[in-house]
Structure 1
Amino acid sequence: MKLLRISIISITALLIAAAPAGASPLVIGEAMPWHYWIAPVLFLSFLGIAALLGVSYYFKVVRLKTRGR
């Protein structure tokens, strides 16, 4: 019950905080210049984090299982 209450409060706070950003004229108008350079940075960061997660999982879980410790 406590987890459900915390989840509902967090989602409500997120929606309330995001509402002004969604209603701003920037969303409706032209794209601002920072949209163009931030997309590749975010994409490459995501790929790097995904690759590191995969490599870490291999070294900490898979390799130890196959070697038999």
Structure 2
Amino acid sequence: MKRKGGRDGPPALNWRKSSYSSGNGGACVEVVETPDGGRYVGDTKDRSLPPHHFTAAEWHAQPLADEG
């Protein structure tokens, strides 16, 4: 199923560019929060790749989740 931006993955979710993406055309990722608090993370340079899924527990255990 295609989602906004042409990427295959969960439909009807609002993907956004991650604040950790570089602004100079380098490594860019997009993130969407799922209704259960998990996240999907996708590579904007290759939208043919499936997004990675993290459960809410996995996402909040990530070191970057605590950085501000």
User: Normalising TM by the smaller chain, what interval?
Assistant: under 0.3
Q: Larger RCO: Structure 1 or Structure 2 (Cα < 8 Å, ≥ 6 residues apart)?
A: 2
- Greater share of helix: 1
In proportion to residue count, which structure has more strand?
2
Query: Which TM-score applies when normalising by structure 2?
Result: 0.21
Q: Which has the larger radius of gyration?
A: 1
